Structure 1
Amino acid sequence: MGARSKRLLYLVHRWLGVILCAFFAMWFVSGAVMMYVGYPKLTDAERLRHLPVLAPDAPLLAPSHALSRAGVAGPLKELRLAASSGGRPAYVVTPQGKGSAPVAIDAVSGARLPATDEARALATAAAFAAPATSLRYLGVVAEDAFTHSRALDAHRPLHRVELGDADQTLLYISGRTGEVVRDAARSERLWNYAGAWIHWLYPFRGNAFDRYWTDIVNWLSIAGIAMALSGTVVGIMRWRFARPYRSGARTPYQGFMRWHHIGGMLFAFTTITWIFSGLMSMNPWRVFDAGAAPLRMEALEGGAPSLAGADAAPAALLAAAGGGVRELRWTRMQGRVVAQAYTSGAQALLLDGQSAQAVQLDPAALRAAAAHLLPARLQRIEVQTAYDLYYYSRDAHTMTGGGAKPLPVLRAEFADAQASWVYIDPHTGAVVGRSDNGKRASRWLFAMLHSWDWLPLLERRPLWDMLLIFLSLGGAVMSITGVVIGWRRLGIKLRSAGVPRTIRLP
């Protein structure tokens, strides 16, 4: 390598480091926090635990009658009943169609519920919290540090209520349906400022930078990769593998430069893979979008997406379920309307939406229907009884955790250009996962490289914890020494340029 090329390499690493080493140090530390405290979310299991039990003798309208009185027609994406809005039973309905907003319907009168106000938000919070818990209404927000998720857009604005429990839990309540859509304990909120909120550069969300947030993350990651790669080359060039320097050391540097050089040689590969996989988490420029055809859900549903015929009264369904039901959800499956009865944690009980009789799906019919989910030949369909590289469960607080990943599951593999796999819950007939070439590539380049969620390692904790904490600490030391070196270099340049020294540099 020529002298000019070397000089350019040193300059690229040095000045990118001045800008980016602080980001690197922050990413390493916040990533370690995220191993144990994730961004606030309300999982379905947690939500069910806090819902009041539906009274079987309550005079509740059948869903078809409630929808008719409320003037809701057409195919529905979602229909469920729970005492989730103001502590009173209400149907929550989401029409089919992109961007369709959910509607809440009073389950007794069939009237559409108006936009949530303070009184209803407080009533919802009281039903969610333990008895005798004090409540404090904090007003309405469109978006704040803990509600940047796009999944909440249909519920904005959000009412905030703080519970007087030991965790000082903050509840976010939908401005449309009056349901709790997110909860965040005080410790969770505080740790997030050192964890996910700063790790994902959320200070750039919900303000003037919001529209540029994706580009900021992408280009900082790309610049970080360039810095780490150039530093790796410089580090290898300056390291004496065969013959040490006169001092007897393999590195020519002293002080912070020495620690930075050694740290870079030890942790450069991990740093590069983590920054690169962080970039991959953004699906930059949609590189993982394989263009697979949408699923033909009517194949499983047995016709057009319609809940016509959901005539069984909730009282009959609740009686058939045997009590303790906190939510009823209606779907269409194998040509009939099915009500799913959920308790606080048990598997859903399937009931016929007209007769309220217990339902068990026909496995052979489910397999036959699955073959028509995509306009491609079904290569294979099999029962999967254990998690693998592409279908697995993570802790609820993690980025990819919290969703239902039941076992056993049917895996249908198709011969389309994207090599699509579809995962179907044989108990409910619901599609619980989908994979294709793009998503499997993302699995390797993001999840595997970034969080090391390799099952043999995850199943041997605390080995997973020890490895990731060690690598995070090593990367943090390397980055912090880089911050010190960068500030010193910047101070020298400023003084040589005659700029007054207004800050004390390390």
Structure 2
Amino acid sequence: MKRYLYLWHRWLGIGLCLFMALWFFSGMVMLYVGYPKLTPREHFAHLPALRLTDCCVDLGTALRSADAERSPASIRLSMVAAQPRYLFSYPGRASVAVDARTGQRLQPIEREQALASARQYDAVATASYRGAVFEDLWSHSRALDAERPLQRVQLDDGERTLLYISGHTGEVVRDASAVERGWNLVGAWLHWLYPLRGIGVDGLWSNLVIYLSLAATLMAVLGAVIGILRWRLRKPYRSGSRSPYRGFARWHHIGGLLFGVLAITWIFSGLMSMNPWRLFSSSVPLNVAAYQGGPLSAAAFPVSASEALMRFDQQGFNARELEWRLIAGAGYLVAHDGAGRTRVLSMADGQVLERLPRELLEHAAQALLPQGQMHSEQLEAYDFYYYARAEQSMLGHLEKRLPVLRVRFADPQQTWLHLDLYTGEVLGVLDQPRRVSRWLFSLLHSWDWLPLLQQRPLWDAWMIAFSLGGLVLSVSGVVLGWRRLAK
């Protein structure tokens, strides 16, 4: 039996230790440089103030121009290429832009419009057109699907920023500095095995990552078992050592004993991040559409964009983007400024609010389960299931403001909602499978544990120290595997 343990560990290690070494090294890079993305903070900071002189066509006209048959999932008004545009998103379909001055739907974005959008993003830097692309090294994210094809523009600013511009709306949807692009070649791009994308195996990429991680987990478990079996607690070997190995084999043995358990948890939790075999997908998900109280339509928003902007100005709020939102059937217009702060205009009474009433959000949430039990609480501090992460982390761009309203339902999946008191947005849906994922992925893989996260650089020291231990374990395995193949 022992012989088979050794054989399985040896040959799995020969094939997988290189992947493990790459994962540990690239993981350390990702602690400080994330995959390129345009964060909300960057988005609003590069927008000019909304100036709606001689503007705009009414919302009903814009909706009919965008798509007279379907209701959008979201409606925004923003400056794009120095022109006001209504921006509509639809589930599973391409985004749509409507010229707010003329009411005409925009045609696909070409070179000159892309350059105009880049000049709005940075009026000082020289912009060079780099052509259209459907997907490349820095645009693999599925969040960009509604914007493809993407127009690329290179800026000659200090960061050598590469902009990705929606081929449907002209909006800048991603920026990637030279530093991000360079480090990501040995960071997220390597960690997520993105070199396998774009070479004809895209449909198999997810399964490749899942089964490589599964095999690496098995290899690490076998190694831990062998490491314990080969370590002598009572009687040392003839050499006087408690390990029978020398050189790299000794490094590998002792490294496995010290860091093997953590290596197993990291590889296993990386596997869990892929949601293998849909383990964390709800069998009966709670439909949150009822929270809105109906489709987004012009009838719920009698106040025009120009009048709303004037009311925000009167409150000393310099809006850069407007967003139409429906909560329990009532219309609200959310304004964002350059720092990402918000104000809300109620369509019912015309009041400008900094925060929405808790009772309003509770009433809207109850519509999701009209006959079911619901419990709500207002969080004033972060906890295990609602917390902020550094911006470069995978989900760090998602704003987590406090206080926030948590609503718990007594449905079969024991669903929780986190509702933004500042905008009314549903920030997250956490049912039982997703809460299990929070333990098996976010905790074990990123160590998203508040006592560590809130005590940086303690968290950094923890992550780097154990990553280096895993790297020693993996590199020594690569050397041993190479020597075995050479024989």
Length-normalised TM-score, structure 2? 0.95
Q: Residue 151 of structure 2: SS of its match in structure 1?
A: strand
Relative to structure 1, the CA distance from residue 123 to residue 445 in structure 2 (aligned partners, 3 Å threshold; closer, same or farther) is same
Note if 1:475 corresponds to 2:470: yes
Pick the aligned partner of 2:483 from 464, 482, 488: 488
Pick the aligned partner of 1:196 from 179, 182, 188: 188
Within 5 Å, give how 1:39-438 maps onto structure 2: 39-68=35-64, 72-84=68-80, 86-95=81-90, 98-129=91-122, 131-298=123-290, 300-322=291-313, 324-353=318-347, 357-358=351-352, 361-374=356-369, 377-438=372-433
List gaps (5 residues or longer) in structure 2. Answer: none
The amino acid of 2:44's aligned partner reads L
* 1:301/1:332 contact within 8 Å kept: yes
Relative to structure 1, the CA distance from residue 206 to residue 87 in structure 2 (aligned partners, 3 Å threshold; closer, same or farther) is farther
List gaps (5 residues or longer) in structure 1. Answer: 493-506
1:231 positional shift: 1.1
1:427 positional shift: 3.0
The amino acid of 1:301's aligned partner reads Q
Stretch deviating more after TM superposition (303-312 or 243-252): 303-312
* 1:312/1:354 contact within 8 Å kept: no
The amino acid of 1:29's aligned partner reads F
Structure having the higher Rg: 1
Q: Residue 280 of structure 1: SS of its match in structure 2?
A: helix
1:336 positional shift: 2.7
**What do the CA deviations read for 1:150-170 (whole angstroms, capped 9, x no partner)?**
111111111110110011000
Note if 1:453 corresponds to 2:448: yes
Aligned length: 483
1:346 positional shift: 4.5
Cα distance in 1, alignment partners of residues 153 and 343 from structure 2:
33
Length-normalised TM-score, structure 1? 0.92
**What do the CA deviations read for 1:269-326 (whole angstroms, capped 9, x no partner)?**
011000000000000000011223333433x434444342434332211111115211
Cα distance in 1, alignment partners of residues 394 and 43 from structure 2:
18
1:59 positional shift: 2.4
* 1:116/1:177 contact within 8 Å kept: yes
The amino acid of 1:126's aligned partner reads R
The amino acid of 1:272's aligned partner reads I
Q: Residue 299 of structure 2: SS of its match in structure 1?
A: coil
* 2:331/2:347 contact within 8 Å kept: yes
Note if 1:10 corresponds to 2:6: yes
Stretch deviating more after TM superposition (346-355 or 471-480): 346-355
The amino acid of 2:211's aligned partner reads W
**What do the CA deviations read for 1:140-190 (whole angstroms, capped 9, x no partner)?**
111001111111111111111011001100000011111111100000001
1:376 positional shift: 5.9
1:265 positional shift: 0.9
1:375 positional shift: 5.8
Pick the aligned partner of 2:17 from 21, 25, 29: 21
**What do the CA deviations read for 1:198-240 (whole angstroms, capped 9, x no partner)?**
0000111123111110111011111101111111111111111
**What do the CA deviations read for 1:370-409 (whole angstroms, capped 9, x no partner)?**
2222366224211111111111111121112111222111
Cα distance in 1, alignment partners of residues 117 and 267 from structure 2:
42
Relative to structure 1, the CA distance from residue 452 to residue 363 in structure 2 (aligned partners, 3 Å threshold; closer, same or farther) is closer
Relative to structure 1, the CA distance from residue 189 to residue 71 in structure 2 (aligned partners, 3 Å threshold; closer, same or farther) is closer
1:70 positional shift: 5.2
